[in-house]
Structure 1
């Protein structure tokens, strides 16, 4: 199998690739995460994933590099990681009783050939109506502090979610089925 490199320091993405049974290395190069004003979120995350993958691929002669980026979009606004406790509380209050989109862009680069794939996937997440007490208790756990949208569906944040439409793993950080299909095009097979 070709050498696989994840261009992300995200522990969640690393766990997801391990869940797929893949052996990989982690290499991260900082990139400019500025996107053009008005760029649709699906294009923005695909572009950021591409930049992350290319920043690592540029240093290598061989291997398959995977870059990824995830955003939460609510009422047309991209919600990043919270800047602090008050920001996390306000974000969760805005998501309470509503739905939002989680969009993950991913890019795959073959370092030997320069072959490239860019894609994104969207999942709609519906939150239960949450009380201020529930929101504050969740934020006190510290779980939301390093997550876009101020929650982690794979942890205690699961109790905030009423239902989803789409790929659960996309909300965690990588749409596994779509990623596997794309990796097959690069000669990386999970099920042989």
Structure 2
């Protein structure tokens, strides 16, 4: 082997594995960027409502994982030899699954119902490669809302606006939504929408990150 061929082979060996995030979530992008993870974004085209309708026997935690797996697979099929990270978050409250509010009026009603009570956020993640799931997992956080006033609720909705409709709980803990709570049990990154530590561990095993 010539010296140039040897150098080319060495560069191929040293080239990091490629990671694609199959999510449009700004919070998930920010988490990966903050952790200095190299990635590109390809939003998964999946019908979440159809998946939820098919999995009515799944609890909220199981559903979060299945949605993450579906997103990872949808993108992985179009990107050979890349690692694809899918993620999703579900909310469990009062014995049932909660979906994103369709309007600010619905968000107001939901938040009024949850104040003074606890609910669970389940953040699921999955890694796929060559159209196959190679890892998936979920982490859960329990959040307790304080008994806030109607005046605060009105001010909160007016300040945050329709951006809340993209959040399953109609709040962002990294924003004014932090004022809704009196206690949070669990990992902060899980609340934001990604079980970051387990994901980073899998990315190290995959060769996307240095071990």
TM-score scaled by structure 1?
0.93
Corresponding position: 1:153 with 2:173: yes
**For 1:39 and 1:72, how far apart are their aligned partners in 2?**
13
2:67 aligns with one of 23, 30, 48: 48
**For 1:125 and 1:181, how far apart are their aligned partners in 2?**
25
**For 2:201 and 2:144, how far apart are their aligned partners in 1?**
27
2:119 aligns with one of 87, 90, 100: 100
For structure 1, the residue ranges without an aligned partner over 5 or more in a row are none
Q: What is residue 125 of structure 1 aligned with on the other side? A: 143
- TM-align CA RMSD: 1.5
For structure 2, the residue ranges without an aligned partner over 5 or more in a row are 1-15
Decide which structure has greater helix share: 2
Query: How much has 1:115 moved relative to structure 2?
Result: 5.4
Q: Is the 8 A contact 1:71 1:78 kept in 2?
A: yes
> What's the CA shift string for 1:14-55, capped at 9, x where partnerless?
101101101111001311322311211111110110000000
Alignment of 1:1-192 (within 5 A): 1-33=16-48, 34-35=51-52, 36-111=55-130, 114=132, 116-141=134-159, 142=161, 143-189=163-209
Q: Specify the SS of the correspondent of 1:158.
A: helix
**For 1:77 and 1:40, how far apart are their aligned partners in 2?**
8
Query: How much has 1:12 moved relative to structure 2?
Result: 0.8
**For 2:206 and 2:183, how far apart are their aligned partners in 1?**
33
**For 1:187 and 1:162, how far apart are their aligned partners in 2?**
40
Q: Is the 8 A contact 2:61 2:90 kept in 1?
A: no
Larger Rg: 2
